[in-house]
A and B are shown apart, each in its own frame.
Chain A
Amino acid sequence: MKICVTGIRYWENEMNWDNKLPLNLDVLPLNNAQTETIFNQYTVRFRQGQINSDHPFYPKSSDLKVMRDDTIASVICAQLLMDYADFPDTVKDEMCLMVANSNFIDNGILDFNSIAQAISEIQKANTAEEKNRSLGAEVSPLIPLRTLTNGAESFVAQYTQIKGESTTCGSTCISTGHALDDAMSLFKLGVAQTAMVGGSHFANVFSFLNHYLQLSDCEGYAESTSASFFLIETASHANLQGREVLLWIENLLFNQWPASTEKVSRVYCGGSFTQGDSDSLLLRCQKEFSIEAITLFPFLGSLGCSELGFLLALADIQLEQGESALIYMEDVFGAFLCLTVKKP
């Protein structure tokens, strides 16, 4: 079965919604990534989301209280993509929505001052009742909703009216590959013919804490709140809809190298959180594939679960007609995916 990518939308703070990644990545501005020192010892760059609330697809105010910035970005990205696709309701009723996500704790919840306050109350309490009462005063009923792991998936479905097979995969950057893989399995089973696949990433201290023990060195740690979504369809469905094929999906492997990379014109790699890891990843890819590899890390930092969509977008922009690319992504635990795509 032939499966193709027919649309991609992505957002990171440095890019306006309508901008595409440039052919020359050097023009991507880095100056807005503020460096900060956390816990008196780690120099990091967090690029937080600053999303224009005037955007026509900006979520309703009643939903914002349980949305993180990455969820807002996801909702806008997904609506832009569906606006482009212009699917009838009959297609939306059956299409898949496969989302990947990694960080479910936002700055409002991981507020160390509030945590210190709550702990202080626990320590001061003389009885269990006092402790529960003081904790109750600190704990918001919105927490289960704000930390809902399928929050982005559910809000995207709500705003796009996608109602078919759906899930959220987590938690490392290659989870978007698993989301893609699940959608492709459903295509093969004949359950669906089109899917929106994507991910979002929330960059904050919690994300840093999540990763710092897995990293050999935290120097040059950088990440961006971001989101990306792409449409995949069976060839027959895309043909029926008269849609332009951006990329053919040739092969998707987990923890296995493709049989041959001889015909690959480019290698894109991702999954780094620090400059050092990014440099060594590039060297490893170069050695493995004998082609100079390209990474977005120096320009945008880690994009977590949204990185695969960005790399597909890069392949779409940079590949010439008939050329293939290998997208290699590795997570902090060393698991990896190899996705081969081809420009029609």
Chain B
Amino acid sequence: MKKSRVFIVFCETVSPLGMNGEALNKSLIENISAVAPMSQFNAEGLSQPNACEIHDELIGFLPSDGIDWNCIARYDRKFALMAAVVNQHHQALYAMVSSLPIERRGISLGLGANVFPMENIAMEVEELTTLGLFHTLHRVNQSIHPKFNAIFNHADLYAKYLEVRLGEVGFSKNILTACSSSTQAIAFAASKIMVGDADLMIAGGTDSILNNFAYISFGKLGVLTHETCKPFDVNRNGAIAGECAGITVLVSEEGLKSLGLDPAFELIGFGNSMDAYKITAPDPSGIGIEKAMRKAINMSGAKASDIQYINAHGTGTRSNDEVELRAIERVVGDAAPSISVSSTKDRHGHSIAAAGIQEFHVLLASMKSGVVPANLNTTKPLQTNLRLPVGVNLQHEIKIGMTNNFAFGGVNCSLMVKKLTL
């Protein structure tokens, strides 16, 4: 079948690098890093004292419509982050969504695991028994609208909120593949347009592991650094925890006509693969990563040598970076010296399920400005013939870019974007 083209008409995030695209772009160009001592909870005594946080007050972004959104936001930071994106760009988003029929629009979100708000419950519980705990949870939940269960929420909470704010959609789905969640959410949103099932897809995701319960468990798992995140450095020793929420709007050619917009970017390909190796580590051969990138390139119709920048997954962990770098080298072959590769997780941290939308936004910002963000903290880079900017940003045109994300359990996803000439 002839696949429909997929145009990117909107992308915004709230991230540790800024509350919107303009702020994000400025941070990237000025090499601002959001890494700082944790402030959302007191991390005294923990071996990972730093994080990349959003310091802006989020409560002001919630609508006043009779539902106690504040209560949900208090228990679920991921929700507060998503609400901040929607509220800041409500007018533009609403105008786009409402221009197309309900059955031709959909939602695809990438999300993470539930977080039990231990500290909030500790403050509210009246009787420290099983029944007392249940009554506390019941009381909190009943104070909210019954369809928006704050503590034991379904992943559907976020899509339902988008529908409340932006209008009903024909279908909505959640992708739950950890660090590749929102990358895959964008990929599968694109597939719905490519096969002609939708004309407009709202895609993205939200996540934050900046609560003491999640932070401590990830820390004990050994994936967080006790100093600074150094992607592709010989001496890298872990990721920095982050948080993010973001939305991109993808439309078909028909959708584009209805909206009357001139898009700056086209999503030209995606590729997914499984390592089928083990749950705790990526396949050291990197075959799965390589396959996801090759699939994206094949779908795009472009050549590997056409890519000018790859925003890598680059977590700064021992297990990821070298495997990813070698996989990229194999995919691009002789074109390696002309292809820039960097990870921006050293600036905005690893926002887990929202890493995909965070880095998709970074890729679009880089393609727009022609600024390739450097690996900021890397001092002793892994040996490679790829162009791996260290310390200083590169400046060159990016006509075709790629972004990679890989998850625990070996779920790999790559997206390819083309800059359109207006």
Residues of A within 8 A of B (CB): 1, 39-40, 63, 66, 97, 101-102, 104-105, 112-113, 115-116, 118-120, 122-123, 127-133, 135-136, 139-141, 143-145, 147-151, 153-155, 157-158, 160-172, 175, 178, 182, 185-186, 188-191, 206, 209-210, 213-214, 254-256, 331-333, 335
Contacts and interface: CB of A to CB of B under 8 A. Distances in A.
Given A154-B411, A158-B276, 7 more contacts: A39-B135, A120-B128, A148-B178, A150-B178, A213-B146, A255-B170, A255-B171
B279 interface: yes
B130 A135 contact: no
Interface residues of B, number: 85
Contacts of B130: 39, 112-113, 116
A328 to B, nearest CB: 15
A171 B221 contact: no
A132 B217 CA distance: 11
B109 to A, nearest CB: 10
A190 B217 contact: no
Given A119-B128, A171-B156, A189-B1, A132 B410 contact: no
Contacts of B276: 157-158, 160-163
B165 interface: no
12 contacts: A116-B130, A132-B43, A133-B45, A135-B213, A148-B408, A151-B279, A153-B411, A157-B409, A167-B411, A169-B176, A175-B174, A189-B3
Contacts of A214: 146-147, 149
A178 B129 CA distance: 40
B217 A139 contact: yes
Given A39-B131, A135-B213, A214-B149, A168 B176 contact: yes
Given A105-B114, A123-B122, A150-B407, A166 B197 contact: no
A250 to B, nearest CB: 16
Of A102, A166, A172, the most chain B CB neighbours within 10 A belong to A166
A139 B118 CA distance: 11
B42 interface: yes
A123 B121 CA distance: 10
Given A135-B216, A171-B174, A191-B295, A150 B409 contact: yes
Nearest to A171: B155
A132 B44 contact: yes
B274 A154 contact: yes
Contacts of A255: 103, 170-171
Interface in B86-129: 103, 111-114, 116, 118-119, 121-122, 125, 128-129
